[in-house]
Amino acid sequence: MCRLFDRAKFWWKNWVPLLAEVFGIEGNIFRLKITEETPLKPRYEVPDVLTSKPSTVRLISCSGDTGSLILANGKGDLRCHITANPFKVDLMCKEEVVMSINSLGQLYFEHLQTPLKQRTTREKEENASIDTSQENQEDLGLWEEKFAEFVDVKVNGPASIGLDFSLHGFEHLYGIPQHAESHRLKNTSDEDVYRLYNLDVYGYKIHEKMGIYGSVPYLLAHKLGRTVGIFWLNSSETLVEINTEPAVKYTLTQMDPEAAKQKGSSRTDVHWMSESGIIDVFLLTGPTPSDVFKQYSSLTGTQAMPPLFSLGYHQCRWNYEDEQDVKAVDAGFDKHDIPYDVIWLDIEHTKGKRYFTWDKKRFPNPQRMQELLRNKKRKLVVISDPHIKIDPDYSVYAKAKEQGFFVKNHKGEDFEGICWPGLSSYLDFTNPKVREWYSGLFAFSVYQGSTDILYIWNDMNEPSVFRGPEKTMQKNAIHHGNWEHRELHNIYGFYQQKATAEGLIQRSKGKERPFVLTRSFFAGSQKYGAVWTGDNRAEWSYLKISIPMLLTLSITGISFCGADVGGFIGNPEAELLVRWYQAGAYQPFFRGHATINSKRREPWLFGKEHTRLIREAIRERYALLPYWYSLFYRAHMTSEPIMRPLWVEFPDELETFGMEDEYMLGSALLVHPVTEPKATVVDVFLPGSSEVWYDSKTFASWEGACTVNIPVTLDTIPVFQRGGSVVPIKRVIGKSTGWMTDSPYGLRVALSTKGSAVGELYLDDGHSFQYLHQKQFLHRKFCFCSGVLSNSCADERGHYPSKCVVEQIFVLGLKKQPSSVTTHSSDGKDQPVAFTYCARTSTLSLEKLSLNVGTDWEVHIK
């Protein structure tokens, strides 16, 4: 801990002492906190995001020069070199400076001040001899700002903070969602900085750094040999400036990886600025991408384990008209043999936009409607927004009003704003009592007409206020604890999703996993459910930008993410709709959605051929559900992203660092969606000089480290399986995930250049917490080596009875036809297996097997 002084002079010429603290945290994380030593009143420190109080480790004080301090972790390989005057921190790994803090001298900290009207006569007299009239005018203007007709009065003056970070040797930065921008962060200018400020932006523009629905103030920097992260824990409006000074350019032939690691002339400077709060920043030192993911999740939590149904296809529209409409759409999927799991209802299902109610004319018997869906083993999702219609006869409003559960305006009255129901008040989800009460609204006895197949969608929770400044809440509105809205704006939606998820868990008495989709989010939102990219447009450019947007969400902890298939706004042409379904089938959250004034676009409304193509894309999603579910388990347990930019899987290949039109799904599948109209060919980069890749449909193979021209027609989804992987699939596709519980498995074994492969399968009941509390799960490992494919236990703690069998095995890349294939079971019995071998594709096919997925066995190929 050391003390430093704010270098900024304010108009009454005070210097303000600041307190700086450096902590070591388990997992090679450093934390730096800077705040006023004696603030006028407490400054806001973001609560509830960190999963627990971080476990600190003792930092060893090493000898430093006069006026400096060196702190090292237990191993001594990571050190913080702190200089007092001028204040600077160098984060060092061995002898390399990885990151410098305040090396550009951009630390600033506007301290809280006595309200102007309370200034004493003595203070005025002390300044009377100094001509500060112009300076006073400039500073006084910051105490009161106008946005249209709204006036934002800052009672204790401006209180912004800022700090710069220099990343040495780094040119590639990623993160700080949400923006409709490229995956790799770009250099900024004075007029064009990345903004983190949650806003309802209908049909947002693409390739802009404007903040939209969610904010995660966390970025990653990557170079050959190291990945690091910066997590800026602040929930007020935040701006991020980025300036990269690249190294001398070399061609790849001139620069081998080792030489590249040594070059240190490149540098990226990142300047964080927030409107209020304190400086509270976590430095994640890696050194690998996987290490950084684990470090971040140790702070904010891993992705919640979703119920299996939520990984299926979701059908949504603003709005399905009534119970008959729901019944007809549900029947349409069966008629056209298209699987789906969830149908959604938007705001029109309620009585006058009063959440937790039903429009009795449109939905006279919601429980009967849900029973219809239950019989099909399907679910219902309905919307619940944070604004509550001002209506004394509306019980939710009346009870919240009575208990003082609404956000207040600066006068202490209930804040009132316009949203879908008209004049509304907004629940103060920052108050634990409000969250507890709100969670109770989901109880079956309270939420009349709801059943255990009903799940929730939180929308408009930025919060959206139609006639507010920037269509949101005034910054001087007052929350629980007397905190102004400016302090916690970006975390408001986080709290609603948290309360909603806890409500769904409570209604099942803690037994069932929730599913909650939210539009607004913050760091840590992954603990409570899924996120989507908001009100996109039915245009090719929005399909294309959805990929980098989802990649950025994925590497910042939010794996359960997706974009509205088809585009929310507008009417997609048939080709665009097909291509979007094909892309969405290989993205974590898979939902078709459309706005109220768009044409109906259920999958069967575009002609037989387009219906067939959409059906095939959705069925491919369902076939891969075992792989998807296993990936979510790994995300939940080990914080590995599900949808991964290529640089994550191939961190030592420079060519991958800027790629965003293709990605890895887990470590086994490479996906390159077609995002251009009338495409006849796509250029796919297959990374890894020692890798081999297989076309998932034709089984054609290519060596890695090359770009391949892939011919495409409208029925082509370019997906490639990585050599050395085993991908489990479902052989029989049902009407929904519920129909597929006991259906047989297949294994796609893609051999590496060394003739080996590994993979896994995770299995549990798909809906409860028994996997966690009672260890009711199966985690199996598949391994192919020296001609033997084995199925063994990957986690001895888990036990779960399964009737499922592996019915089919494909082995890709088998160079010669075997003479025999036999199975060897755990009871010692050997059985010969009929097989088919295709010399043209080097593929071995084993059919009509009956190998229980939960027991040990081997397949011997000779």
d(CA 70, CA 48): 31
CA angle in degrees (0–180, nearest 5) for 376-381-382: 135
d(CA 803, CA 853): 8
**Quick check: is 477 in a domain?**
no
- In percent, the amount of the chain with pLDDT more than 90 equals 87
Based on the domain organization, do 126 and 61 belong to the same domain? no
Please give the average per-residue pLDDT across 718-729, as a whole number: 98
Q: Is the pLDDT of residue 133 over 50?
A: no
Q: Which residue has the tokens 């699939």?
A: 729
* Residue partners of 314: CB distance under 8 A and separation at least 6: 340, 341, 342, 343, 344, 381, 589, 590, 591, 592
Q: According to the model, what pLDDT value does residue 408 have?
A: 98
- The CATH number covering residue 365 comes to 3.20.20.80
* Residue partners of 163: CB distance under 8 A and separation at least 6: 34, 101, 102, 106, 107, 271, 272, 279, 281
Confidence of residue 250 (pLDDT cuts 50, 70, 90): very low
* Residue partners of 267: CB distance under 8 A and separation at least 6: 166, 167, 168, 169, 170, 244, 245
- CA of residue 93 relative to chain centroid, distance: 29
The amino acid at residue 494 is F
Based on the domain organization, do 499 and 381 belong to the same domain? yes
Closest CA to 274 of 110, 140, 152, 409: 110
- Distances from the Cα of 560 to the Cα of 436, 437, 553, 639, angstroms: 25, 27, 9, 12
Based on the domain organization, do 509 and 615 belong to the same domain? yes
Q: How many domains, the chain?
A: 5
Q: Which of 198-212, 241-255, 483-497, 572-586 has the lowest mean pLDDT?
A: 241-255
Based on the domain organization, do 669 and 566 belong to the same domain? no
Give 349-389 pLDDT, tens digit per residue. 999 999 999 999 999 999 999 999 999 999 999 999 999 99
d(CA 233, CA 230): 9
Give 319-343 pLDDT, tens digit per residue. 999 999 999 999 999 999 999 999 9
d(CA 156, CA 94): 44
Confidence of residue 6 (pLDDT cuts 50, 70, 90): very low
**Quick check: is 401 in a domain?**
no
Q: According to the model, what pLDDT value does residue 115 have?
A: 87
Q: Which residue has the tokens 């947002």?
A: 204
Based on the domain organization, do 171 and 229 belong to the same domain? yes
Based on the domain organization, do 289 and 367 belong to the same domain? no
Q: According to the model, what pLDDT value does residue 14 have?
A: 60
Token couple for 333: 């999927």
Closest CA to 635 of 731, 561, 737, 725: 561
d(CA 787, CA 860): 6
**Quick check: is 470 in a domain?**
no
d(CA 673, CA 719): 8
Q: Which of the listed residues 266, 300, 334 is the one where a domain comes to its end?
A: 300
Based on the domain organization, do 772 and 812 belong to the same domain? yes
Q: Which of 125-134, 287-296, 611-620 has the lowest mean pLDDT?
A: 125-134
Q: According to the model, what pLDDT value does residue 120 have?
A: 52
Give 294-320 pLDDT, tens digit per residue. 999 999 999 999 999 999 999 999 999
**Quick check: is 57 in a domain?**
yes
d(CA 48, CA 276): 18
DSSP-based three-state secondary structure for 471: helix
Average pLDDT, the chain: 93
- The CATH number covering residue 104 comes to 2.60.40.1760
Inter-axis angle of helices 395-402 and 432-440, nearest 10: 150
Give 812's DSSP letter: E
Say whether the peptide bond before residue 295 is cis (omega within 30 degrees of 0). no
Based on the domain organization, do 524 and 453 belong to the same domain? yes
Beta carbons of 452 and 445 less than 8 angstroms apart: no
Based on the domain organization, do 715 and 743 belong to the same domain? no
Q: According to the model, what pLDDT value does residue 860 have?
A: 98
Please give the average per-residue pLDDT across 744-759, as a whole number: 98
Secondary structure, 3-state, 610-671: HHHHHHHHHHHHHHCHHHHHHHHHHHHHHCCCCEECHHHHCCCCHHHCCCCCCEEECCCEEE
Beta carbons of 40 and 118 less than 8 angstroms apart: no
- In percent, the amount of the chain with pLDDT more than 70 equals 94
- The CATH number covering residue 733 comes to 2.60.40.1180
DSSP-based three-state secondary structure for 437: helix
Q: Which residue has the tokens 């004075």?
A: 190
How many other CB atoms are found less than 10 A from the CB of residue 736?
A: 21
**Quick check: is 423 in a domain?**
no
Beta carbons of 517 and 531 less than 8 angstroms apart: yes
Q: Which of the listed residues 694, 721, 748 is the one where a domain comes to its end?
A: 721
DSSP-based three-state secondary structure for 773: helix
* Residue partners of 558: CB distance under 8 A and separation at least 6: 177, 216, 303, 521, 525, 526, 531
Say whether the peptide bond before residue 115 is cis (omega within 30 degrees of 0). no
Record the pTM. 0.95
Please give the average per-residue pLDDT across 538-554, as a whole number: 98
Q: According to the model, what pLDDT value does residue 416 have?
A: 98
Confidence of residue 226 (pLDDT cuts 50, 70, 90): very high
Tally the residues of the chain: 862
d(CA 460, CA 450): 22
Domain extent at residue 135: 116-153
Give 854's DSSP letter: T
The amino acid at residue 661 is D
**Quick check: is 410 in a domain?**
no
d(CA 532, CA 457): 11
Q: State the DSSP H helix or E strand holding residue 127, giving kind and residue range, or none if neither.
A: helix 121-128
- CA of residue 237 relative to chain centroid, distance: 20
Q: Which residues of 810-845 are buried (b: 16+ CB within 10 A; e: fewer)?
A: bbbbbeeeeeebebbeeeeeeeebebeeeeebbbbe
The amino acid at residue 414 is D
Closest CA to 706 of 751, 772, 755, 653: 653
Beta carbons of 164 and 101 less than 8 angstroms apart: yes
Q: Which of the listed residues 272, 300, 328 is the one where a domain comes to its end?
A: 300
Please give the average per-residue pLDDT across 688-705, as a whole number: 97
Please give the average per-residue pLDDT across 717-732, as a whole number: 98
Secondary structure, 3-state, 50-119: CCCCCCEECCEEECCCCCEEEEECCCCCEEEEEECCCCEEEEEECCEEEEEECCCCCCEECCCCCCHHHC
Please give the average per-residue pLDDT across 516-527, as a whole number: 98
Based on the domain organization, do 129 and 168 belong to the same domain? no
Task: Please give the span between the terminal C-alpha atoms of the chain, in angstroms, as a whole number.
Answer: 66
DSSP-based three-state secondary structure for 124: helix
Closest CA to 243 of 266, 225, 220: 266
Q: According to the model, what pLDDT value does residue 119 have?
A: 63
The amino acid at residue 357 is T
Q: Is the pLDDT of residue 252 over 70?
A: no
Based on the domain organization, do 439 and 584 belong to the same domain? yes
**Quick check: is 667 in a domain?**
yes
Q: Measured on CA atoms in the order 457, 463, 467, 470, is the torsion positive or negative? A: negative
Closest CA to 554 of 537, 536, 530: 530
- Backbone region of residue 529 per phi and psi (left: phi > 0; alpha: psi in -120 to 50; beta: other values): left
Give 401-439 pLDDT, tens digit per residue. 999 999 999 999 999 999 999 999 999 999 999 999 999
- Distances from the Cα of 674 to the Cα of 327, 611, 679, 832, angstroms: 33, 18, 7, 43
Please give the average per-residue pLDDT across 127-131, as a whole number: 51
Say whether the peptide bond before residue 86 is cis (omega within 30 degrees of 0). yes
Based on the domain organization, do 235 and 360 belong to the same domain? no
Token couple for 439: 């969670």
**Quick check: is 472 in a domain?**
no
Q: Which residues are catalytic?
A: 459, 462, 535
